[in-house]
Amino acid sequence: MGKLGPGVSVLATLLSIGLPGCNQPADPASLVETLEGTYTGDFVGISTTTLLSVELTLEIRQAGSELWGSYTLAGTLSNRTRPSDVRDEGSFTGGILTGRDPELYFTLVGACSGARALYAGTFDSDDKLIIIRGPVDIRNDACGIVASYQATILLHRPQDESQPSSRASR
């Protein structure tokens, strides 16, 4: 076996203290927030003759900055005479940018002839909220739009009953 020279101890020292960039934490601005899970949020829309009250639920899957999953929109549309149940289900695709409070976007594809709705917003890194803006279109059985609202929806992860609340008690 050959004799090890003095260069080996220098290399060992460099490896033990770490080369620049090795074992260093990633730059927070380059990280992608993890959103995977279920999020829900309520929306109330009011026009001159109708009131819309719905809950949007997103089941989010994620691979890096790519988002996809399913959604459900369920609630009530009321005019002056009677309320009607509304429900829409479908899929979505989207993405999230890197860094704190990143921008994100979704394209929802509904059950009604592939109707699409584009949503854009942000993810609140501290409170773990998704804040999105976009249209809420209510369609009849023939897929015609009977009511349309521009919405801002705050989506949150439902609180696990077994976990203590993150809010302070008074």
Which residues pair with residue 54 across a beta bridge?
Answer: 43, 75
Write the pLDDT tens digit of every residue in 7-51: 444 433 333 344 444 444 455 556 899 999 999 999 998 887 888
Q: What is the mean pLDDT of residues 111-122?
A: 88
CATH number corresponding to 34-154: 2.40.128
pLDDT of 26: 54
Q: Which residue has the higher pLDDT, 167 or 98?
A: 98
The vertex-55 CA angle with 120 and 79, nearest 5°, equals: 105
Whole-angstrom Cα distance, residue 53 to residue 138?
11
Between the alpha carbon of residue 112 and those of residues 60, 140, 144, 156, the distances in Å are 21, 9, 9, 26
Displacement of CA 115 from its chain's centroid (Å): 20
The Cα 104–Cα 169 span in angstroms is: 32
Q: Say whether pLDDT at 79 is over 50.
A: yes
Query: Which one, of 88, 152, 146, 90, lies nearest residue 121 by Cα?
Result: 152
Domain ranges across the chain: 34-154
Average model confidence (pLDDT) for the chain?
A: 79
